[in-house]
Each structure stands twice: as structure tokens, then as C-alpha cells.
Homo-oligomer: A and B are copies of this chain.
Amino acid sequence: MPSYTAPVRDMQFILHELLKIDRYQDVLSGFAEATPDTIAAILEGAAQISQEVLQPLNRVGDREGCRLENGKIITPTGFKEAYAAVIEGGWTGLIGDPEYGGQGLPYVLGLAVSEMMASANMAFTMYPGLTSGAMEAIEIGGTDQQKALYLPKMISGQWTGTMNLTEPHCGTDLGLLRTKAEPQSDGSYRVTGTKIFISAGEHDLAENIIHLVLARIPGGPDGVKGISLFIVPKFLVNPDGSLGDRNAVSCGSIEEKMGIHGNATCVMNYDGAVGYLIGEAHKGLRTMFIMMNAARLGVAVQGLSQAEVAYQNAVAYCKDRLQGRALAGAKYPDKPADPIIVHPDIRRMLMTVKVFQEGARALAYWAGLQVDIIRKHPDPETRRKAEDVLGLLTPVMKAYFTDTGFTAANLCLQCFGGHGYIAEWGMEQFVRDARIAQIYEGANGIQALDLVGRKLPANKGRAIQLFFALVGGFCEKYEDNAALSPFIRPLTEALERLVEATQWLMQHAISNPDNGGAVSTDYLYMMALVTLGYQWAQVARICENQLSNPDDDSFDRQFYRNKLVAAQFFMEKVLPETMAHLAKIQAGADSLMALSAEAF
């Protein structure tokens, strides 16, 4: 059976040493409260509930799945009690607005907590995760009255939330959406239509579910410009917050899926359900997309989370499993064989995952801090820059972290040999669970299009120029530092390749839009690699700095040395992939577009 230990030390390193979040104590609200002691207590508390409550239910959820009986969904054994423990611990309100009962702590801290919970039990964590998304939409687009009515009980976890976008014939292309919302004389709407793939659409964990639903108000514009966003509660809510009638929304069936069996993926039928417009009519996608950007960061962290837990279990197995001898001679001659962690190819797999998840964690938390800055920083210029770079990197993180999270879980499965394929070891569940993250919240190909088609050209390339200045400035600053040269030199080269790819795009994507689409995924990967390289180079700088203090003989010296090895591995064994991506980009779209559809 797999286990999970939250990587608290690495999280602390990122928050305090890499991001130095104490810099923001006097600048960002909630950061003063996030003292090192508070952070330590929160991380330990989240680790405890993740390890002791959520992780033991991960396999239960996979085995039992959810059942639909008489329109009600029964979640797997233990999920109800675990959810009660999560809200009892205040975890659903950690970063919530204090005005509505939240603790108002930094978003970046909430991200660390959500990583732990997702590592422990991804399917379970989606119930509160979807609530966060729904809350955010209400925060962005809701009236004060709507906020006051819904947010407190969602923050407390008493109610959960969902997002309803997809319909059977329309996933990515929301312009095809048909669900309609007919205005009523009392200002409400009647929502009718079918939504599919609704995670946590129905369940027995909470007393009410607040559905956020995209629908068309008849007479509005066609396509994406006529879509509005509605609040459709499972139970109508009286003005005093008490529950009223059951609304005409129901779960028609649940999907049998490859993974995340513990989370109910519902077909939701809206049969003239009472709904309340949120934000402006026909402008629903605007709110939805703001919220989805944050959700995409959350999904990126899910990718990382499955890599982390799979890695831990693979490491334990590789230290334990005796098979063969080290190539340079037996390491443990007294044992019948050496543990397989002595084998270089096993280490190649483990190191590949290690540098991914540690680097991705650093980047994800940096991104989380940008969310705090965007939401709370007093200086508009600082907020704008954070928004630019975060907007640029959100699709990159979503796609790269989930693709690589899946690959990483697979590498970890591979370390187990035949046992990895056997259900009881739990490794194959990580792979199946991780797989969804490459698809939902916008399939990864859509992320690449978002990057190349929208984020890159926006504001005449302001965001990418800022990014180049950031990474390039760092490289220049340390280019003469001999100790850092093994990190700065490859990063500089990779950045040059990315600049070259960007120039290629600028020259070729306008004349032939297919060129942009054809190279978008390669470009996204290049940017991901450069960005992770930048994280590792910063990590290396900090560690070199710490180790250069000869008086410090603390236990942590080994921690810093290990980080330097990991950074070296990233530069030598991962970053060279930028070469192949550049070459593929420069080949353009011709060989992709030449075949007729029939020729496939």
C-alpha cells in the first residue's frame, strides 16, 4: 500500500528561502499573519490531515467509486467523515475573504496545502477544489448580496460548488453551447439543458451544492458573445441563508472513468431550474475565464502532486527491492543483491521525477505568490507585471505540469517492474488519476494555443518581453560567477533558443496561422523548460550562497548540496530538450497540414 509524507522541508525552503515571502508582510494583507510559526503550524496541520485522513482513503475511493442511487450519489466509504474533518479543521476557509468568514491567509500557502491534499487523495480534494473555483466566480462577478448569501457557507465548507461548462456536443468550443436561461418576472431565470463532465456535480458530503452554469439568454448574440453565467443552487436559498425548495437540477448519470473514481463526474440535467445571473448578461465567459485561470494553476499543482506521491513510493521501493549488483561492483556484498537504487537507469528515472516535482513546486508557489500580488498589492505597476507574467505562464504550467506529472507517475510505476502494474501496489492508480489533469480545465493542446495565440501577442508581446528581461537579467547578473556557471551557462543557451523560437513565430505565424498552431506545443514545452531552468538556477544560487558560509555546519548543508546536484541534473539531462523543440518549431506546419483528412 502506498504512503505519503508531505514534503514540508521543501515547501519551507521555497516559501522562506526562495520566495522570501516575509518581504510582503507589510505590503500584502494576510502576510503579516503568515509568520514563520504560523506557516509551520499550517503546513504540519495540513500534512497531518493529508497523511492520516485523506491518504488512507485514496485506494478506497478508487476501488469503490461513487454510486448513483435514486438520483443521489453515495461517495466512497469514509469520504463523508473525511470531509467533515476537513471543514472542522477550517481548511476550506484558509485563504477565504475574512469578510465572509475566511482566514485571509496568503494564496500561496493555500496552494501548498492543496498540493498536499491532492497528493494524498486527488479525487477527494476535487470536492473542495471545485468549491474554490465556484467561490472565485462569485467573488469576481457576484453582487454584494450574492456574495453575502453564498460565500460564507462555501468558505465554511457547509456547501460545495461546481462549474458547468461542457455539453455533449461542446467542450472546447463554447460557442456551440445550447443550455438556455429564460428570464422571469422576478429577475431570476429558468435554466434548461444538459451539462456533462461535471465534477462533484452531486454527492452526499454537504447539504447544498452551488452550481455555476453557463447558459444562453434567448435573443442574445450567437457564439461565445451570448453566454451568461448563472448561480443554480441544488436547494434554493432563502434570504436568511436557510435552505428552501429543491431546485429542478439533478444528476442523470455518472461516468465510469479511467481514474479519480472517488469523485463523481456527473451528467447534470437542468429542467427549468431557478438560476440567478451573475455579472453582466452575455458576458459570462469573462468571469468564467478569470476563474479558470486560477483553476488551471490548481490543476497544474495536481500534476505535480501525483508526481510527488508516486516518487516517494518509488524511492521507498527502490531502496528496498534487492535485484542485481551495482555496475561498478556490489555495494552491499552481505546482501543477496543490491537495492535497485544503485542502478544508474533507476536513478535516471527517479532524478527525472525529482527535478520535475521540486522545480515545478518552486514555480507553482512563485505563481501562487503572483496571485497574491495581483489581488492585494497596492502598486498597480507591480500588479500589472505579475498579471502579465502569470497570464503567460499559467497555460505553460497547466500543460507541462500535467503532461510531466503523468509521465513522472509512469516512470515511478516503471521502477516497480511487474509490481507496478498490479493494482494493490497503488502505483497504477496514480497514473490513472494523473491522466485527467491533461484534459480538464482546457485540454493541454488548448493551453498551447492560449499561449501562442493569445498570451504571446497580447499587448504587443509585453508579457514575453518582461519574461525575457526577467530570465535574461538573472543570467547576466550571474554570468561571471564561476560557481554558478554550470547553471547559468545552459540556462542562457536555452533562453537564446526560446528567443529564437519566438522570433520564428513572429515571422511565420502571421503569414500562416497554421504555423502558430503547429508549433504551439513545442513552444510551450520550451518555455516550460526555460522557466524551470530559471527556478533551478535560482535554487542553485541560494544553495551556493548558503554553502559558501564556512561557519554554517548545520544539518541543512546536505539539503543544499543535494539541491545543487538536482539543479545540475536538470541542466544536463532535461534542459537539452529545448534543442529538439527548437528544431521542430523551425520546421513549421507543412508536414502537418499536407495530408487531406482522408489520408489519415
Contacts and interface: CB of A to CB of B under 8 A. Distances in A.
Given A171-B323, A414-B439, A514 B344 contact: yes
Interface string A354-371: 100000000000000000
A256 B170 contact: no
Contacts of A196: 418
A449 B414 contact: no
Interface in A179-222: 196-197
Contacts of A18: none
Given A343-B517, A600-B354, A438 B414 contact: yes
Contact of A589 (B176, B259, B344, B578): B344
A576 B586 CA distance: 11
B328 A512 contact: yes
Interface string A422-454: 111000100110011011100111001100010
Given A258-B423, A324-B173, A418-B171, A599 B514 contact: no
Nearest to A172: B323
A10 to B, nearest CB: 12
A540 B410 CA distance: 35
Contacts of A319: 597, 600
A344 B517 contact: yes
Interface of A: 166, 169-173, 175-176, 196-197, 255-259, 315, 318-319, 322-324, 327-328, 336-337, 339, 341-351, 354, 406, 410, 413-414, 417-418, 420-424, 428, 431-432, 435-436, 438-440, 443-445, 448-449, 453, 512-514, 516-518, 520-521, 558, 562, 565, 568-569, 572-573, 576-580, 583-584, 587, 589-595, 597, 599-600
Contact of A256 (B197, B424, B518, B576): B424
Contacts of A350: 600
A61 to B, nearest CB: 16
Given A256-B422, A584-B576, A565 B591 contact: yes
A324 B319 CA distance: 50
A587 B572 contact: yes
A577 B576 contact: no
Contacts of A176: 322-323, 336-337
15 contacts: A169-B322, A176-B323, A255-B423, A319-B597, A327-B513, A327-B517, A341-B597, A343-B445, A344-B520, A414-B443, A414-B444, A421-B435, A558-B599, A569-B591, A577-B580
Given A173-B322, A176-B322, A418-B439, 19 more contacts: A171-B417, A173-B323, A196-B418, A256-B422, A258-B421, A258-B432, A318-B600, A327-B517, A342-B597, A344-B520, A347-B518, A410-B435, A421-B436, A562-B599, A569-B591, A569-B592, A573-B592, A576-B587, A579-B580
A359 to B, nearest CB: 14
Contact of A576 (B439, B579, B590): B579
Given A323-B173, A327-B516, A421 B257 contact: yes
Contacts of A428: 257-258, 432, 435
B418 A258 contact: no
B323 A170 contact: yes
Contacts of A324: 172-173
Contact of A345 (B346, B439, B521): B521
A331 to B, nearest CB: 9
Contacts of A348: 518, 521, 592
Contacts of A343: 445, 517
Count chain B CB atoms within 10 A of each CB in A339, A514, A592 and give the residue with the most. A592
A144 B443 CA distance: 59
